[in-house]
Structure 1
Amino acid sequence: MRADIPSPRKITGWIMSPRETLTDQQEERLLEVRLACPDITRACDLARAFTDLVRNRRGSFLLEWIRQAEQDAPKPMSGFAGFLRQDLDAVTAGLTLHWSSGVVEGHVNRVKTLKRAMYGRASFGLLRTRILTQP
C-alpha cells in the first residue's frame, strides 16, 4: 500500500538520528526500507560512518571514508565525497583539530543580518551602535 511508504524526509531523519533515540517502530521501519533498497542501505551506512567521524573528531579516517563513498555509494554521496577530496587538508583539519572559526562566523553572520535589515533606513552611526551594543 502506497500510504505505508515513508517519505524521503522521514527516512533521512531516521538515518541521521542516533540509534538510541529511535523508537522500536522507527528502527523496524528503517530496517524494512534498508532491506527493500540496497542504495539506501549503503547510504545509511556511509552517513552514519561520516557522522561518527564528525562527532568523534576522527579526521584520520576521512580518506578511507572518501574511498568507500567514491567506490560504491549512490551518486549524490559519491559526489559529496569528491567535493571533500578537493579540499582534503582543510576538511581533515576540521575533523581533527579542536580549534574552530565557528564563533567568528557567527558574529559575521549576525553583522550581515543587521546590515541587511537596516539597509537604506539609517545612518552608518546607528548601524555601528547596533553592532557594538547587541550581544
Structure 2
Amino acid sequence: MIVPEPVAMELPVPELPRTQIIERTRHRFEDIHHLAEKGWTINAIARRLNLDSRTVRRFRDTDLDELLASARDRRPNGVLDPFKAYLNARFTETQGQASGTRLFQEIHERGYRGSHQVVRKLLAALRAGTAQPVRADIPSPRKITSWKTRPRETLTESQVKRLLEVRLVCPDITRACDLARTFADLVRRRRGHLLLEWIRQAEQDAPKRMQGFSGFLRRDLDAVTAGLTLPWSSGVIEGHVNRVKTLKRAMYGRALFEFLRTRILTRA
C-alpha cells in the first residue's frame, strides 16, 4: 500500500509588527515613489515632504523590504529619556533616599506613560553609580537662530523661556540676539537711515561672524541703504528669472531652443 506524501502547507508570509517606525517607513516610501513617478526631482520631493534630499534619494533607490528591515532593527527613543534629567535632580535632592513609587507618580503627572519597572531600574543604577550620564538638553544652533530672528510675539512661552536661559548662559548670544532683532526691525520697517549706526555698534562689540557681516554691508552701504529705504526692489525681475529657469528645466532635452524662446515670449 502506497502512502501518499503529505501535502506541504503554505505558511503565511511573516509580517513585521505594525510599529510607528514601520508605518512611517511604508507611508514615506509610497509618497516618495508616487511623486517620483510623476517626474518630480529629488529636491522638489524633499521640499514637498519636508525631508532631506539624501533621505529622498535613499527611499527612491532602495527596495521597500530593505527599508523595512532597517526600520525594524532601529530602537526607538526610550519613553523615560525625557524624564531622566528630572529623576537625576530629584535623586540628588533627596540624597538617594527617593521613593520609586513617589518619583513614578511625579513623572506620570508630567506625561510619562511607561512602566514602573523602568523607573526602578534607573534608581537602582543611580544608587549603584552605574547609570549613564544624562545629556544636557541644549537647543541646536538652528533653533537658537530661529528664536533670535523671529518676532517676540510669534514665540511660545516655552521658547521665550529657553531663549532667556541661553542668553543668561552666553553673553555673545545675548549681544547677537539684540543686534539681530534690531536689524530685523530695520528691514521690516524700512529704516535705512539707521543702518550706519547699526553697523558701528556691530563692529564694536558684536561676535566675530556678525562683525564680518557688518563689514560686507559697509562695502556696499549706498545700495543696502536704498534697499532698506525705497519701496522698489528687484523682486519682479527675480520672479521672471525664476520662471524662465523653471521653463528651461521642464523642457531640457525635449525641444529645441526656438521652441523654448517662443514659449517664454508668449507667456511673458
TM-score by length of 2: 0.48
Partner of 1:124: 257
Residues 3 and 133 of structure 1: CA distance in aligned 2, closer, same or farther (over 3 Å)? farther
Q: What is the one-letter code of the residue matched to 2:244?
A: V
What do residues 72-131 of structure 1 show as CA deviations (whole Å, max 9, x unaligned)?
111111100000000000000000001111111111122133324434432122212332
Alignment of 1:67-106 (within 5 A): 67-106=200-239
SS of the aligned residue for 2:232 comes to: coil
Aligned to 2:16: none
Aligned to 2:171: 38
Match of 1:17 among 147, 150, 156: 150
Task: Give the percent of matched residue pairs that are identical in Structure 1 and Structure 2.
Answer: 81
Q: Which amino acid aligns with 1:82?
A: G
Letter of the 1:63 counterpart = L
| Aligned-partner Cα distance in 2 for 1:15–1:8 | 10
Q: Which residue of 1 aligns with 2:182?
A: 49
What amino acid maps onto 2:181 in structure 1? R
TM-score w.r.t. the length of structure 1 is: 0.91
Task: Return the structure number with greater helix share.
Answer: 1
Moved more, 28-37 or 102-111: 102-111
Corresponding residue for residue 28 of structure 1 = 161
Match in the other structure for 1:6: 139
For 1:104, give the aligned amino acid. I
Structure 1 equivalent of residue 5 of structure 2: none
**Shift in Å, 1:133:** 4.9
Between 3-12 and 26-35, the greater mean CA deviation after superposition: 3-12
Aligned length: 135
| Bigger Rg, structure 1 or 2 | 2
Q: Does 1:59 align with 2:192?
A: yes
Amino acid at match of 1:88: L
Match of 1:115?
A: 248
Q: What value does the CA root-mean-square deviation take over the aligned residues? A: 1.6
Where does residue 38 of structure 2 map in the other structure?
none
Q: Which amino acid aligns with 2:176?
A: A
Question: What is the DSSP-based 3-state SS (H/G/I as helix, E as strand, rest coil) of the residue aligned with 1:113?
Answer: helix
